[in-house]
Amino acid sequence: MDFEYNDKTKRLLASLNAFMDAHVYPNEKLYYEQVAADRWTSPPIIGDLKKKARAEGLWNLFLPDSTHGAGLTNTEYAPLCEAMGRVHFSPQIFNCAAPDTGNIETIERYGTPEQKARWLPRMLDGDMHSAFAMTEPDVASSDATNIQSSIVRDGEDYVINGRKWWTSGVGEHDCELLIFMGKTDPSAPKHKQQSMILVPMDTPGIKVLRAMSVFGYDDAPHGHMDMVFDNVRVPASNMLLGEGRGFEIAQGRLGPGRIHHCMRLIGLAERCLELMCRRVSSRVAFGRPIAEHGVTLERIAESRILIDQARLLTLKAAHMMDTVGNKHARAEIGMIKVAAPNMACRVIDWAIQAHGAAGISQDFVLANYYAHARKLRLADGPDEVHRNQIGRLELRKYAEAV
Amino acid sequence: MDFEYNDKTKRLLASLNAFMDAHVYPNEKLYYEQVAADRWTSPPIIGDLKKKARAEGLWNLFLPDSTHGAGLTNTEYAPLCEAMGRVHFSPQIFNCAAPDTGNIETIERYGTPEQKARWLPRMLDGDMHSAFAMTEPDVASSDATNIQSSIVRDGEDYVINGRKWWTSGVGEHDCELLIFMGKTDPSAPKHKQQSMILVPMDTPGIKVLRAMSVFGYDDAPHGHMDMVFDNVRVPASNMLLGEGRGFEIAQGRLGPGRIHHCMRLIGLAERCLELMCRRVSSRVAFGRPIAEHGVTLERIAESRILIDQARLLTLKAAHMMDTVGNKHARAEIGMIKVAAPNMACRVIDWAIQAHGAAGISQDFVLANYYAHARKLRLADGPDEVHRNQIGRLELRKYAEAV
Amino acid sequence: MDFEYNDKTKRLLASLNAFMDAHVYPNEKLYYEQVAADRWTSPPIIGDLKKKARAEGLWNLFLPDSTHGAGLTNTEYAPLCEAMGRVHFSPQIFNCAAPDTGNIETIERYGTPEQKARWLPRMLDGDMHSAFAMTEPDVASSDATNIQSSIVRDGEDYVINGRKWWTSGVGEHDCELLIFMGKTDPSAPKHKQQSMILVPMDTPGIKVLRAMSVFGYDDAPHGHMDMVFDNVRVPASNMLLGEGRGFEIAQGRLGPGRIHHCMRLIGLAERCLELMCRRVSSRVAFGRPIAEHGVTLERIAESRILIDQARLLTLKAAHMMDTVGNKHARAEIGMIKVAAPNMACRVIDWAIQAHGAAGISQDFVLANYYAHARKLRLADGPDEVHRNQIGRLELRKYAEAV
Amino acid sequence: MDFEYNDKTKRLLASLNAFMDAHVYPNEKLYYEQVAADRWTSPPIIGDLKKKARAEGLWNLFLPDSTHGAGLTNTEYAPLCEAMGRVHFSPQIFNCAAPDTGNIETIERYGTPEQKARWLPRMLDGDMHSAFAMTEPDVASSDATNIQSSIVRDGEDYVINGRKWWTSGVGEHDCELLIFMGKTDPSAPKHKQQSMILVPMDTPGIKVLRAMSVFGYDDAPHGHMDMVFDNVRVPASNMLLGEGRGFEIAQGRLGPGRIHHCMRLIGLAERCLELMCRRVSSRVAFGRPIAEHGVTLERIAESRILIDQARLLTLKAAHMMDTVGNKHARAEIGMIKVAAPNMACRVIDWAIQAHGAAGISQDFVLANYYAHARKLRLADGPDEVHRNQIGRLELRKYAEAV
């Protein structure tokens, strides 16, 4: 066993942290001001920082393929993901933001040469955004077989109809591509009904109804959009991998995405714990710094324990994905999906409490980050669905012996 | 012991519930649409419903003085407060919304005949809004002795300087009056330094900087404002009760306000539990209604237990205020301040989880109500301050015996 | 609403508390010494105190029938139950201990004149103990239809066979009577299969296998016995109420028993909170009394809130039983069954923690009381069964409206 | 990073698990029967198994020094510790039980050649037991400076006076040696007042008052004894390391002991989770196996998450001790001391609940193991003391930056 990051990771982490210190934290305020001034356009500071980051080689770090990216394993990339997670908007600076990362991997892994040629270069250059349309409002989409949108072959085209919401990233002014999941064959076996298809955002028939709100936040300019697809027609060549293979692709992109989400949440929680520590050290109530009130120390200690445990579990899941593969890491991937967002909600809630009313306001990132962490207890399946699956895997170990 | 509401309460509660059913729930959607269309003006539907409510005698129910109000004790009024609390914006329909209620009581109890004559009639008629400026950004205001704003006598006037935030209600276009708390004599004994004074909103020197955000909500058109008072000059006759008596007034208005807040939270939680029950009965996941998943039943049951316990504790505190007075109900008033918001956060969080991603969006009131309940774990002193005081009162029972 | 105890209750409570102060607390140590010296005989101090209590009119307080008892309603008796609950062994001093109380009520309510004449006088005089045999080791007895013991008619007799465990009170040297629940007709409708029958302990075929252990405690001399009934033959006239009416009787005795158990747990928790307060006030760690450590105050405050809420809920359930009957109080009776033992476990665990290692030892009652409270999360159905039922009752309110 | 155990660990773990399967689990029942028959003598089965284990090379595995032991690092030994922890009495079979392990390490590290020659051979052969006397009843010993026992030089001897309790292992009939901690110089600086000295159990003046009870368990034949030392006189050559160096020794033995305790708790929790899984798979309630009730799956999943996280944190602490030393692992050692026992209590409590009343009885190890895990929330300092220290270390990271 070895709990130390390897040299490659350490080196990149040092660069990344230096970049965060020099360029990201000092511009947090500016970022929010620019968003407030022009809500649905990517703020100029992001463009500026992207150039800087790329120049320093901090670009496409997530890509395990070293031709285009950093060639890191999940275990090597995970700590970088945590570092970026400390500032919610920072991953895009390094072209490492969801859902673009998942989309790039999907196209690279499952795309035809033509599909790759058309989309990958600009995506890898960070010149456009993309989105992933899966969740639907009318069904419990924790059970993915519930999805109802249709993708119907019609001559040389597919015709797409359906309603999708929580389509994140569509708010970006340069969101040019959607990966759409829907049913090509409702009569096929349960896990062969679904397909994924590439849909350029300028295709007629796509209508954005509204931005969904996360607690009161619309997360502009990224946005989580409620959309209608009304006879949206795309060439048959836009199909990914083949009809009925949507679930297969979904499984493939799932694992790394979970690691990224969870490591970012760990970074988020670390940041909030830092804010908490600084706050309680500087505020006095009833004659003593809040830091010396017993309940404060208890919460800081519990936060430290919870964060460190969640990090280790996530790194272990990453390590298993790297060594024995997604399938054998299934339980662990489910476990971090439960553990990390709950941990983050717990830690941030304490941090809020330590800040008094300021903690829920726009003066600190805490309430916003809480909303984000809370959302991740629901996105990609609510806690309960994952716990059920983890529980069943555990029971299976003793099934023969009953 | 008798756990039944008396006939007066039952009768009013029936009327109020009938009014809610007939006029409030059916207009919830309209209310939010009107607010979205014109954010910082009271939506027309509120004015319409106020007329209806007053016509039906559902007006100023909070006032223990029966000349102007319903003449109810705290115990009698509490269940009505719960009923109104089910819809966050409904108390103002019955002229029962904070902080107007506290301000009316303060002026009626401590005001001079002139102060009463000038302000009470229009406040009792619901023709204007008012606000209460206490909390300050630079100090831990859980410890009220930290307040730093100054109220300085200058000839026939007082001159007010300071910064106040979370001044709720200033967003209303017809907010005409502020009750301001500040120090008249920083050298006086700790609890004699503070005074309260009436400040008309049109007095020069008052500047509203911004609306504070509660998670992502600005609570327009009510608003929680961040304000500067820069040499705001009001006549000396605007002083309430006398210099140095600010704490005394604060204590007086505190008790009933707590009961109101807590009962409204109980109504809020009941509403969210109802939403949860309806949702889980109508959604299917993995082949069974969510209602039949064991964890759902557990949470519904725990919610029922938590809500009923919090209600009983709040009613008991109200009963003690009515029978033995605020001072002897001190522990109980502190206890409900801790129990009710935590209960509400707990119940609403489960309700959100049962709704999936819809639960955190604008499609349900849940996330908004969570933000409100969460705020009340901080407003009027964070949980920790109250628990400390409750703990000390408990220890005191055995102090002589150590 | 009225949260005050009535005069009758206040008067009896004052007498009872005075008796506890004068005679029970001062003899706690002696009680445990006498038990240690002669484990399976009722310690002499109990007999002494019973005489004293009866002389002072503190006798059979639980009996709603005033001919033999105090003629109290559930609401009136509940606070007395709490007071007795502060010392685990004290209820028997007042002839108010389970399962004798439930057995007396059962015989008085459902017994024939002959059954009453034979058993009631000595039970009411506290001259014998009795037990109630329901739970069986081989089935999940939370689902009472699982019970498998048989009661078979054979001429003028019934012949009883089966295994029963957790038969509390059989350890007492003068336990003379068992009420036994078993199936008379396995082919009858589900709730008509069971019957209850009186079984004198000296009937041949009864074998006590061992005392069950609750954590490490065998609760001598009371005991929770594991027993075999091997062709135990009793006269047919010992049947209670009639064949197939076991469930009906079980329902009848259930409600008051729950109130008693819960109120005693509240007394238990109050006692442990008192111990905690005294301990933390007298111990110093790291230069300050433990009482001044923030986390201590938090826990004391939460304990106070939890206890007061559980008491109110239990009193409300008692009030409903008195006014609208067991059936309409069904949800509330389930709720207190969940709330009270969990509350007690929570409070006692904190009290233990405040005592350090002494808290889990024989030097304080804490660990023993924890074991008792923990047992009550399982006895009469585990939490989960009750929460499921409470959840279903709640959902039913909205069932028509889905 | 590498989350796999190395080959040495894997090989030993396989042997150990095979031994547990072949010899330990099948003899659990026998062990408890032998203890019941002769409570304060080591049961014969232990002696038998010790011989077997030693023959198979599973002996003194804890010893980092490979001359006498297995020469394992903390990280290598930890997984073996977990495996043994699954059966509470099994560590002694491999001569790996506390407090003997700590005592052996102490003597080996700090003993004089004479001290080593006298004691080590028989201890390493498992031919005797030893104990460690630190905790005292009259002071909060979480703060070790509170210790009051005295060790006074008198000519060629030291004379020891004081009261010690929770002296574990003294119950063993062959406990021959105590390491005693007391004050040699109350006027020295705080951390130089204490010394440790070797005290043969047959020295006159040692009196065992009683066995302390852990919940209801006395843990015979091991025992946690309450003892008086009345003018106990030992040669000055029995002093360890030198006067005033007691704290230094305590620090040295602390780290590895924590790892052992925590890993054993993890094994304990795994065992209880296994019992839970088997139970819920085999029991039916309300028409379905308990395993299919939603709340059961939730708890199994949470248990799996909690256990895996605690294990990773403990292994990381072990790794840090091996690579950067105890001092730099201080925070981590504190964190596992909090996390592991709380995790175990949480998991075992759920396992108990899944077993119904059987779960708290002697028919399963659950209640006994709960009591043990609960004790470890107090032993070596209660949770609160450790959380305070962890909190302070965290705050220190930002101290300069306030």
Number of neighbouring beta carbons within 10 Å of residue C41:
16
Which of A135, A216, A367 lies at the smallest CB-CB distance from B357?
A: A135
Give the separation between CA C49 and CA D193, rounded to whole angstroms. 51
State whether D309 and D374 are in the same domain.
Answer: yes
**What secondary structure letter does DSSP report for A89?**
T
List chains touching A (3+ CB pairs under 8 A).
B, C, D
What domain range includes position A160?
A: 129-240
Tokens of A238: 């836009």
Tell if the CB–CB gap between A386 and D301 is shorter than 8 Å.
Answer: yes
Angle between helices B330-355 and B383-396 (to 10 degrees): 140
Q: What is the CATH number of the domain that holds B286?
A: 1.20.140.10
Q: What number of other Cβ atoms are within 10 A of residue D34's Cβ?
A: 18
Give the Cα separation of D337 and D168 in Å (integer).
19
Average pLDDT over residues B4-27: 98
Q: Which of C286, C292, C295, C302 to mutate to test the interface with A (most CBs of A within 10 A)?
A: C295
pLDDT of residue A9: 97
Which residues in B lie closer than 8 A to residue A212 (C-beta atoms)? 357, 361-362
Mean pLDDT, residues A211-230 taken together: 97
ipTM: 0.96
Q: What is the pLDDT of residues C5-41, one digit of tens each?
A: 999 999 999 999 999 999 999 999 999 999 999 999 9
Q: Which residue(s) pair with C229 in the sheet?
A: C162, C206
Q: Residue A387 to residues A334, A382, A395, A398, B290: CA-CA distances in angstroms? A: 8, 9, 12, 18, 15
* Mean pLDDT in residue range A75-93: 98
What average pLDDT does the structure give for chain B?
95
Q: A217 φ, ψ to 5°?
A: -95, 135
Q: Are residues A268 and A364 in the same domain?
A: yes
What's the confidence (pLDDT) of residue D237? 98
Which of C111, C141, C156 is the last residue before a domain boundary?
C111
- CA B356 to chain D, closest CA, distance in angstroms equals 17
Domain with residue D234: its CATH number is 2.40.110.10
Quickly count: other Cβ atoms within 10 Å of residue A231's Cβ: 11
Q: Which residues of C49-77 are buried (b: 16+ CB within 10 A; e: fewer)?
A: bbeebbeeebbbbbbbeeebbbebbbbbb
The alpha-carbon gap from A327 to the nearest alpha carbon of chain D, in Å, equals 17
Same domain flag for B41 and B163: no
Position with higher pLDDT, B69 vs A362: A362
Whether C195 is covered by a domain: the verdict is: yes
- The reply to whether residue C135 touches residue D216, judged by beta carbons under 8 angstroms, is no
For residue A118, is it within any domain?
no
- In chain D, residues with a C-beta closer than 8 Å to the C-beta of B298 are 294-295
Distance CA B4, CA C320 (A): 10
- Nearest CA to CA, how far is C126 from chain D (Å)? 29
User: Distance from B381 to chain A by nearest Cα, in Å?
Assistant: 8
At residue C242, the pLDDT reads 96
Q: What is the DSSP string of D209-248?
A: EEEPPBTTB--TTT-EEEEEEEEEEEEGGGBSSSTT-HHH
Q: Quick count: other Cβ atoms within 10 Å of Cβ A155?
A: 8
SS3 helix, strand, coil % of chain A, rounded to 5? 55, 15, 30
Which of D215, D356, D379 lies closest to C140 in CB terms?
A: D356
User: If we measure between CA atoms, which residue out of A175, A345, A322, A337 comes closest to residue A257?
Assistant: A337
User: Would the CB atoms of A353 and B218 count as touching at under 8 Å?
Assistant: no
For residue A366, which phi and psi values (nearest 5 degrees)? -60, -50
Distance CA C279, CA C283 (A): 6
Write out the two tokens for D370. 């709960």
- When pLDDT is averaged across residues A187-191 and rounded to a whole number, the result is 92
In terms of average pLDDT, the best of A190-194, C17-21, C67-71, C249-253 is: C17-21
- If asked whether residues B105 and B188 sit together in one domain, one would say no
pLDDT class for C142, splitting at 50, 70, 90?
Answer: low
Which of C47, C79, C111 is a domain's end point?
C111
Number of domains in chain B: 3
Q: Among A133-147, C12-26, C373-387, D253-267, which stretch is predicted with the lowest mean pLDDT?
A: A133-147
Statement: residue D282 has pLDDT above 90: no
**Can you give the pLDDT at residue B325?**
92
- Say how far apart CA D350 and CA D344 lie, in whole Å: 10
A295 interaction partners in chain C (CB closer than 8 Å): 294-295, 298
- Once rounded to an integer, what is the mean pLDDT over residues B105-112? 95
**pLDDT at residue D55 is higher than 80:** yes
Q: How far apart are CA C82 and CA C76, in angstroms?
A: 11
User: Is C120 part of a structural domain of the chain?
Assistant: no
What residues contact residue B342 under an 8 Å CB cut-off, 6+ apart? B377, B383
Nearest chain C residue to B395 by CA distance is C277
CATH number at residue D13: 1.10.540.10
C-alpha–C-alpha distance, residues C195 and C144, integer Å: 12
pLDDT in tens, D321-336: 999 998 899 999 999 9
Q: Is the pLDDT of residue B162 over 90?
A: yes
Residue B122 falls inside a structural domain: no
Contacting subunits of C (3+ beta carbon pairs below 8 A):
A, B, D
Length of chain B counted residue by residue? 402
Which candidate from A304, A319, A338 shows the least CB-CB separation from D1? A319
Q: Determine the residue among A143, A190, A362 to mutate to test chain B binding: the one whose Cβ has the most chain B Cβ atoms within 10 Å.
A: A362
- Burial status of residue C187 (CB atoms within 10 A of its CB: 0-12, 13-18, 19 or more): exposed
Please, which chains are in contact with B (at least 3 CB pairs closer than 8 A)?
A, C, D
Whether residue B390 and residue C310 make contact (CB cut-off 8 A), yes or no, is: no
Give chain C positions within 8 Å (CB) of A296.
294
* C310 vs B380: CA distance, rounded Å: 26
Q: Is the pLDDT of residue B402 over 50?
A: no
Write out chain D residues lying below 8 Å of B295, CB-based: 294-295, 298
> Are residues A137 and A72 both part of a single domain?
no
What are the residue ranges of helices labelled H in D283-293?
Answer: none
Q: How far is C11 from chain B (nearest CA, A)?
A: 15
pTM assigned to the model: 0.97
Contacts of B301 in chain C (CB under 8 A): 334-335, 338, 386-391, 394
User: Nearest-CA neighbor of D371 among D389, D381, D359?
Assistant: D359
* Within a domain: D124: no
Identity of the amino acid at A297 = L
Q: What one-character DSSP code corresponds to residue B364?
A: S
- C contacts of D371 (beta carbons < 8 Å): 215-216, 360
Mean pLDDT of chain D: 95
- The number of helix segments (H) and strand segments (E) in chain D equals 11, 9
Average of per-residue pLDDT across C230-249: 96
Q: Hey, what amino acid is at B368?
A: N
Tokens found for residue B363: 């499609």
Based on the fold, state whether residues C155 and C30 are members of the same structural domain: no
Q: What number of C-beta contacts closer than 8 Å exist between A and B?
A: 122
Over pLDDT 90: what percentage of chain A?
88
The residues on B that touch D, with CB distances below 8 Å, are: 293-298
Which residues of A are less than 8 Å from C293 in CB distance?
Answer: 294
Residues from chain C that touch D361, judged by Cβ atoms under 8 A, are: 212-214
Which residue of D280, D293, D302 is the best one to mutate when testing the B interface, meaning the one whose CB has the most B CBs within 10 A?
D293
The percent helix, strand, coil of chain D (3-state, each to 5) is 55, 15, 30
pLDDT attached to residue D402: 40
* Paired sense of beta strands C129-133 and C175-183, if any: parallel
| Amino acid letter, residue A366 | L
Contact B341/B381 with Cβ under 8 angstroms? no
pLDDT for res A135? 93
B218: left (phi over 0), alpha (psi -120 to 50) or beta: alpha
Tokens 């994924």 -> residue? A196
Half-sphere exposure of D298 (CA within 13 A, CB side): 14
* Strand ranges in A53-174 using DSSP code E only, listed in sequence order: 129-133, 150-154, 157-168
**What pLDDT score was predicted for residue A402?**
41
User: How many Å lie between the alpha carbon of B268 and the closest alpha carbon of chain D?
Assistant: 26
Contact A395 D315 (CB under 8 A): no
Dihedral-angle region of residue C166 (phi above 0 means left; psi in -120 to 50 means alpha; beta otherwise): left
Q: What is the tens place of the pLDDT at every residue in A26-41? A: 999 999 999 999 999 9
D88 is a domain residue = yes
Looking at the structure, tell me whether residues A209 and A355 fall in a common domain: no
Q: What is the reported pLDDT for A141?
A: 67
Question: Which positions ≥6 away from A129 have C-beta within 8 Å?
Answer: A100, A169, A172, A174, A175, A176
- Residue B401, pLDDT > 60, answer no
pLDDT of A291 over the 90 cut: no
Q: What is the largest CA-CA distance in chain D?
A: 78
Q: Evaluate if residue B65 carries a pLDDT over 60.
A: yes
Residue range C263-298, pLDDT digits in tens: 999 999 999 999 999 999 988 777 778 888 779 999
Alpha carbon of B145: minimum distance to chain A alpha carbons (Å): 9
- What pLDDT was estimated at residue A145? 76
User: Are C168 and C224 a contacting pair, CB within 8 Å?
Assistant: yes
- Which chain D residues are Cβ-neighbours of C293 within 8 angstroms? 384
Domain C-terminal end among D184, D213, D240: D240
- Contacts C296 to A, Cβ<8 Å: 294
**Residue C245 backbone phi and psi in degrees, to 5:** -110, 20
- How far off is chain D from A281, nearest CA to CA, in Å? 7
Contact D217, D238 (CB under 8 A): no
Task: Identify the three-state secondary structure at position A258.
Answer: helix
Chains that touch D (3 or more CB pairs under 8 A): A, B, C
Taking CA atoms, B71 is separated from B8, B64, D3, in Å, by 10, 4, 70
Asked whether the bond before B256 is cis by omega within 30 degrees of 0, the reply is no
Residue C49 tokens, joined = 């105190």
The answer to whether the CB atoms of A368 and B284 lie below 8 A apart is: no
What single DSSP character describes residue B160? E
D160 strand-pairing partners? D151, D232
Q: Output the pLDDT for position A142.
A: 65
Query: Closest Cα of chain A to B320: distance in Å?
Result: 28
**Spatial distance between the Cα atoms of C11 and C5, rounded to a whole number of angstroms:** 10
Are both B257 and B396 inside the same structural domain?
yes
C98 neighbors C114 (Cβ within 8 angstroms): no
A348 lies in some domain: yes
Same domain, C283 and C315: yes
Kindly determine whether residue B213 and residue A367, on different chains, have CB atoms separated by under 8 Å.
Answer: yes
**What secondary structure letter does DSSP report for C214?**
B
Residues of A with CB under 8 A from a CB of C: 293-298
Percent of chain B with pLDDT over 90: 88
Between β-strands D129-133 and D175-183, what pairing exists: parallel, antiparallel or unpaired?
parallel
How far CA C177 is from CA of C112, C120, C246, C352, in Å, comes to 16, 11, 17, 37
CB pairs under 8 A between C and D: 122
One domain, residues A100 and A169: no
Spell out the residues 6+ positions from residue B244 whose beta carbon is closer than 8 angstroms to its own: B184, B185, B188, B192, B193, B194, B195
**How many angstroms separate the CA atoms of A101 and A90, rounded?**
14
**Residue A133 identity:** A
Which amino acid does the sequence have at D98? A
Residues from chain D contacting residue B296 (CB–CB below 8 Å): 294
Encoded tokens for A123: 């995506």
**Which chain B residues touch C323 with a CB distance below 8 Å?**
4
Higher pLDDT: A297 or D287? It is A297
Task: Check whether residue B351 and residue B395 sit in a common domain.
Answer: yes
Q: What is the pLDDT of residue D287?
A: 77
Residues C223 and C272 in one domain: no
Q: Is residue B234 part of a domain?
A: yes
Decide: D390 and A305 in contact? Cβ < 8 Å: yes
Contact D375 C360 (CB under 8 A): yes
